[in-house]
């Protein structure tokens, strides 16, 4: 039984150990212990009354996970949680601030005991589309149809800006609540423009002419977030939709064949690619990351930068004294465009979810209703310097200059607001997919035709992959 073969010399043993050691080094060890089967947990629910329309169990604990990133978690602990506690004094809130949401919660989703409310955001975001197709999210319809916090005669969904609810719809129901309203466009230093007598261009011809002037002044007209070239994809699609109408974006979201080859998309791609050909892009931009490129922009090395309205707070530490961040919508490619010059992309972002297997899902819904109240939204805007999807909640709040100009842009746009869904629905179609093709295009390494072919191939990959749940709008 204890026969030890003479083959088992020390040398062979060491060799075996060495070979086994190689097993440990590659990344496969990250999969340790994931394949556990979950049991689920019991859900509690209270009785729905006029004062408690969602049927919140008034004495149950509410476990909250807030992503502790750019927005911090003070808006939750100082604004929303006190409101919830005030209404349900017997409830207990278990607050958690987390930097890596997936790291903290992935195994809890698998095990069937997720928390009641999650701010699924940041680098460790668990893809929303995947959570929906795995049936891990609670349907938010009841919350949107409930009477609003401030006025019981108005439903929650009617207190929000157009598109806010839709931004969280996957298939037939809303599963994600987006709180922040992000305005996308081009950003520049108003002080610099005023000094030189430059004005924000409204057409592409004006843009090209101004770029020439800016270049003569020794400044690079444009920069973008370099290796994260999808930032450039945003003005590209916005300009295309302004020229050809918002149906272009619907076709792209619905993965229709040929959507990326639309004439307006090509024209827009062509216009942006010409920036590189004319030498209007800060040298070396394609090799920078967003920190380096935005840093160069803040230093005044480049005039225009595409970004969302988080830019101002992101750059707060590196913005010089007399730098007044200002917003402008993307210029029109042609005089006979389908949409007016004021049109811009505004997208509801910063996702909040209630897990389907939560212990206290009704409490999670109620917490959302608190956030979407006038007071809750106002507090959010004050704490994190971001607009919200709640109508009129930011009125009268003193905002920093960049956000003020973005808000003015939004008001000027009225109903001409664009939005697209494919990055939310199919996360890796945009990144790394489209991201790398746009990077190539902007670096001048491929033509517009090759770019279209590349993007079409990415759409086709998703379209023909049966394992991906498809959504349409």
Partner 1 sequence: MSVTDVTPRSDARSTPRRPRPGPALQHGKAGFVLAFLAVPVAVYGLFVLSPYVQAIYISLTDWSGLTASQTFIGFDNYVRLFDDDQFWVALKNNVILMLVVPVVTLALGLFFASMINVGRRGRSGIEGVRGSKVYRIVYFFPLVLSMAVIGVLFKYVFAPTEAGGIFNGLLGLVGLDGLAQPWLGDPRFAFWCVVVVMIWAFVGFYVVLFSAAMQSIPKDIYEAALLDGSSRFTTFRHVTLPLVWDTVQVGWVYMAIQAMDGFALVHIMLGISGGPSRAGDVLGVALYRSAFNSYRFGYASAIGVVLLVLTLIISVLFMRAARRERVEL
Contact 344, 185 (CB under 8 A): yes
Residue closest to 227 by CA, chosen among 427, 435, 453, 429:
435
Q: How far is the C-alpha of 71 from the C-alpha of 87, rounded, in Å?
A: 25
CB of 422 to partner 1, least distance (A): 15
Q: How far is the C-alpha of 336 from the C-alpha of 244, rounded, in Å?
A: 10
Q: Which is nearer to partner 1, 67 or 84 (CB)?
A: 67
CA distances from 76 to 73, 211, 314, 354, 368 (A): 5, 44, 20, 16, 11
Residue 347: CB partners within 8 Å, gap ≥ 6? 167, 178, 181, 182, 184, 308, 419, 420
The long-range contacts involving 295-300, CB below 8 angstroms and separated by at least 24 positions, are 296/223, 297/187, 297/223, 298/323, 300/189, 300/192, 300/219
Q: Tell me the angle at which helices 230-244 and 435-442 cross, rounded to the nearest 10 degrees.
A: 90
283 lies in the binding site for partner 1 (CB under 8 A): yes
300 lies in the binding site for partner 1 (CB under 8 A): no
Site map for partner 1, 131-160, x if CB under 8 A? x-xx-x------------------------
42 lies in the binding site for partner 1 (CB under 8 A): no
Q: How many helices (H) and strands (E) does the chain have?
A: 20, 12
Q: Residue 92's beta-bridge partner residues?
A: 61
43 lies in the binding site for partner 1 (CB under 8 A): no
Enter the tokens of residue 154. 């108005």
18 lies in the binding site for partner 1 (CB under 8 A): yes
Window 429-468: residues binding partner 1 (CB under 8 A): 431-432, 435-436, 439-440, 443, 445, 467
Stretch that binds partner 1, among 66-74, 226-234, 245-253, 393-401 (CB under 8 A): 226-234
227 lies in the binding site for partner 1 (CB under 8 A): yes
113 lies in the binding site for partner 1 (CB under 8 A): no
CB of 70 to partner 1, least distance (A): 19
Report the SS3 class of residue 130.
helix
Q: Which is nearer to partner 1, 38 or 69 (CB)?
A: 38
Q: In 78-118, where do the E strands start and end?
A: 92-98, 117-118
Pick one of 202, 292, 334, 374: the residue that binds partner 1 (CB under 8 A). Answer: 292
Stretch that binds partner 1, among 79-87, 103-111, 163-171, 389-397 (CB under 8 A): 103-111
Contact 152, 374 (CB under 8 A): no
Stretch that binds partner 1, among 125-133, 253-261, 264-272, 387-395 (CB under 8 A): 125-133
Q: Which is nearer to partner 1, 115 or 244 (CB)?
A: 115
Give the number of residues in contact with partner 1, rule: CB under 8 A: 68
27 lies in the binding site for partner 1 (CB under 8 A): yes
Query: Residue numbers of the site for partner 1 (CB under 8 A)?
Result: 1-4, 6, 15, 18-38, 102, 106, 109-112, 126-127, 130-131, 133-134, 136, 220, 226-228, 282-289, 292-293, 295-296, 301, 427-428, 431-432, 435-436, 439-440, 443, 445, 467
């Amino acid at each position: 039984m204890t026969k030890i073969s003479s083959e088992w010399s020390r040398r062979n043993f060491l060799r075996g150990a060495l070979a086994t050691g190689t097993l440990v080094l590659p990344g496969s060890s990250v999969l340790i212990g994931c394949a556990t089967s979950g049991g689920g947990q019991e859900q509690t629910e209270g009785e729905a009354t006029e004062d408690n329309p969602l049927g919140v169990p008034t004495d149950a604990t509410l476990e909250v996970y807030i992503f502790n990133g750019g927005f911090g978690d003070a808006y939750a602990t100082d604004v929303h949680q006190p409101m919830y506690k005030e209404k349900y004094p017997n409830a207990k809130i278990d607050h958690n601030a987390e930097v890596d949401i997936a790291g903290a919660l992935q195994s809890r989703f698998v095990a069937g005991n997720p928390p009641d409310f999650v701010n699924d955001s940041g680098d460790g975001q668990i893809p929303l589309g995947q959570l929906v197709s795995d049936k891990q999210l609670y349907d938010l319809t009841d919350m949107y149809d409930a009477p609003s916090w401030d006025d019981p005669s108005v439903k929650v969904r009617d207190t929000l800006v157009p598109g806010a609810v839709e931004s969280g719809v996957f298939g037939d129901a809303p599963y994600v609540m987006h709180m922040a309203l992000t305005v996308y466009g081009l950003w520049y230093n108003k002080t610099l423009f005023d000094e030189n007598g430059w004005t924000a261009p409204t057409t592409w011809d004006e843009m090209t002419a101004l770029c020439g002037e800016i270049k003569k002044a020794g400044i690079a007209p444009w920069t973008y977030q370099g290796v994260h070239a999808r930032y450039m994809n945003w003005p590209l699609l916005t300009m295309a939709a302004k020229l050809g109408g918002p149906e272009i974006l619907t076709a792209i979201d619905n993965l229709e064949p040929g959507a990326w080859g639309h004439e307006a998309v090509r024209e827009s791609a062509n216009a942006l690619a010409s920036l590189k050909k004319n030498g209007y892009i800060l040298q070396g931009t394609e090799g920078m990351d967003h920190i380096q490129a935005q840093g160069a922009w803040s230093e005044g090395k480049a005039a225009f930068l595409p970004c969302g309205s988080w830019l101002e707070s992101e750059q707060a530490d590196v913005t010089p004294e007399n730098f007044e961040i200002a917003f402008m919508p993307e210029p029109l490619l042609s005089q006979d465009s389908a949409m007016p010059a004021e049109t811009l992309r505004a997208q509801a972002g910063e996702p909040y979810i209630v897990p389907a297997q939560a212990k206290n899902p009704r409490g999670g819904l109620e917490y959302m209703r608190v956030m979407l109240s006038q007071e809750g939204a106002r507090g959010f805007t004050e704490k994190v310097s971001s607009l919200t999807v709640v109508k009129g909640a930011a009125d009268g709040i003193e905002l920093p200059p960049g956000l003020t100009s973005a808000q003015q842009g939004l008001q000027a746009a009225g109903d001409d607001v664009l939005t697209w869904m494919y990055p939310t629905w199919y996360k890796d179609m945009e990144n790394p997919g489209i991201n790398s093709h746009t990077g190539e295009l902007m670096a001048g390494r491929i033509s517009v035709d090759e770019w279209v072919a590349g993007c079409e191939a990415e759409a086709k990959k998703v379209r023909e992959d049966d394992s991906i749940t498809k959504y349409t709008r």
